[in-house]
Amino acid sequence: MSKQERIKILDVPVDMVNMKQASRRFLDLMETPECSLIVTPNSEIIVNATKDPELKKIIESADLIIPDGIGLVYASRIVNCPLEERVTGFDFLTEILKLLDERGQSIFLLGSKPEDEENPGVAEYAGYKMKKQFPNLRIAGTHHGYFNSEDEAAIVEKINSSGADFLCVAMGAPKQEKFIANHQKELKVKAAIGVGGSLDVWAGTVKLAPDFYRNHGLEWLYRLVKQPSRYKRMAALPVFMVRVLTERRKKK
């Protein structure tokens, strides 16, 4: 991707891609031999990246940086490089599943809660649901996202020996991005993405916001109503907008 198609918001890069362009880019990355990194920053992740140099570096090194969230679309207008649309991590993952299904390729699902006495592991159940919707997709393996750093080598080995073409990591940011970046050289998958809570949505443990909220870019409001304990994290959106406006004023 050329530098011109990559804009900066609070000095953090974001690719100017709509869903169609992102999908095309994904297919290109699946043709390259080394493991490519796909990240899906939203306003909260961009603000965190301004305070976490390791996260910022990882985003800068990514092969595809998806604009996940309406905050980024508004910010892009403020910096005079308007993004056409937001591409949510969940929607992009669904598009990826469709493309993998068309090609009969496989995915490894890493992250979310392990099984307990009453429920299967979230990743395992998400895989079952994905397979129902995309019958040609192969689920190469699953593993929950609650492990210590000493377990990481064994998990990388499990992913590699599964022969998966693609890796989906759902452990929340920046954990998922750091896991992929730390093991990118050893991973034998063609590409890997961090998708936050998307496996929970697939498994049905968390509900996707209804269409009204999604169509108006109001997923954050829906999540705030459903999970009020997240209010501190939600504060990232206004903080983000104020910072983008302040930076813009400084540059004028």
Q: Which residues bind ligand UDP (CB under 6 A)?
A: 111-113, 145-146, 170-173, 175, 196-197, 199-200
Nearest approach, Cβ of residue 34 and ligand UDP (Å): 25
Tokens read off for 86: 């937001």
Residue 138 bridge partners (DSSP): 106
In the bound state, the residue with its beta carbon closest to ligand UDP is: 145
Return the number of the residue (12 or 30) whose C-beta is nearest ligand UDP.
12
The burial class, CB within 10 Å (0-12 / 13-18 / 19+), for 203 is: buried
The angle subtended at Cα 39 by Cα 35 and Cα 41, nearest 5°, is 170
Return the number of the residue (113 or 188) whose C-beta is nearest ligand UDP.
113
Q: What is the CA radius of gyration of the chain?
A: 18
Nearest approach, Cβ of residue 210 and ligand UDP (Å): 17
CA dist., res. 209 & res. 36, Å (int): 30
Helix/strand/coil for 107 = strand
Alpha carbon 206 to its chain centroid, in Å, reads 16
Nearest approach, Cβ of residue 182 and ligand UDP (Å): 15
Return the number of the residue (39 or 199) whose C-beta is nearest ligand UDP.
199
Nearest approach, Cβ of residue 114 and ligand UDP (Å): 9
Nearest approach, Cβ of residue 172 and ligand UDP (Å): 4
Return the number of the residue (67 or 111) whose C-beta is nearest ligand UDP.
111
